[in-house]
């Protein structure tokens, strides 16, 4: 595969605060030879503190990797950034995402929002870890499948 023209993968959720940030980080870590990783939100807010924490636990420092919250319209659509793969990671983004011109593949990964989970601090942390691990497995499976194309 010609890595100078890696296909762009955009992970999209509502706020770009947890799931899409994790997916972008995992794709950068495990699939950088094949894909250009991006993430965005329909209504961007800020990266959730637990997102930083659970990624740091496994050696991924989102700050050091240059992660920041991005809006789909401002960062990608208006700038006409070509996206090869659009992966929505929440039902809200899947339902509300506009048609994105030029997308070759669109997928929906139905992932629970750890930021919406209610419980004790330890229970919320456990939920973030669970979702992090699910996302890592999905990203690795995506790389294994799509890097052979």
Contact 21, 90 (CB under 8 A): no
Task: State yes or no: is 90 an active-site residue.
Answer: yes
Tokens of 146: 């799509």
Dihedral sign from CA coordinates of 124, 130, 132, 134? negative
- From the list 90, 93, 131, 135, the catalytic residue is 90
User: What is the spatial distance between Cα 74 and Cα 88, in angstroms, rounded to a whole number?
Assistant: 17
Tokens of 24: 């972008």
- From the list 81, 97, 103, 126, the catalytic residue is 97
- From the list 9, 10, 12, 13, the catalytic residue is 13
Cα–Cα–Cα angle for 75, 14, 131, rounded to 5 degrees? 115
Task: State yes or no: is 3 an active-site residue.
Answer: no
User: What is the spatial distance between Cα 76 and Cα 97, in angstroms, rounded to a whole number?
Assistant: 13
Task: State yes or no: is 97 an active-site residue.
Answer: yes
Mapping DSSP to helix (H, G, I), strand (E, B) and coil, where does residue 11 land? Answer: strand
Q: Hey, which residues are catalytic here? A: 13, 90, 97
């Amino acid at each position: 595969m010609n890595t100078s023209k890696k296909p762009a993968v955009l992970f999209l959720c509502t706020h770009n605060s947890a799931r899409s940030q994790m997916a972008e980080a995992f794709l950068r870590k495990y699939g950088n030879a094949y894909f250009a990783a991006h993430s965005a939100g329909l209504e961007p807010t800020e990266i959730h503190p637990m997102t930083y924490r659970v990624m740091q636990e496994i050696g991924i420092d989102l700050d050091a990797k240059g992660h920041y919250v991005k809006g789909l319209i401002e960062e990608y659509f208006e700038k006409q950034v070509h996206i090869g793969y659009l992966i929505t990671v929440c039902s809200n983004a899947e339902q509300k995402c506009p048609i994105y011109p030029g997308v070759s593949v669109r997928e929906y990964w139905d992932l629970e929002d750890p930021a919406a989970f209610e419980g004790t601090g330890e229970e919320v942390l456990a939920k973030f870890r669970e979702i992090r691990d699910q996302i890592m497995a999905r990203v690795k499976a995506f790389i294994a499948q799509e890097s052979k194309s």
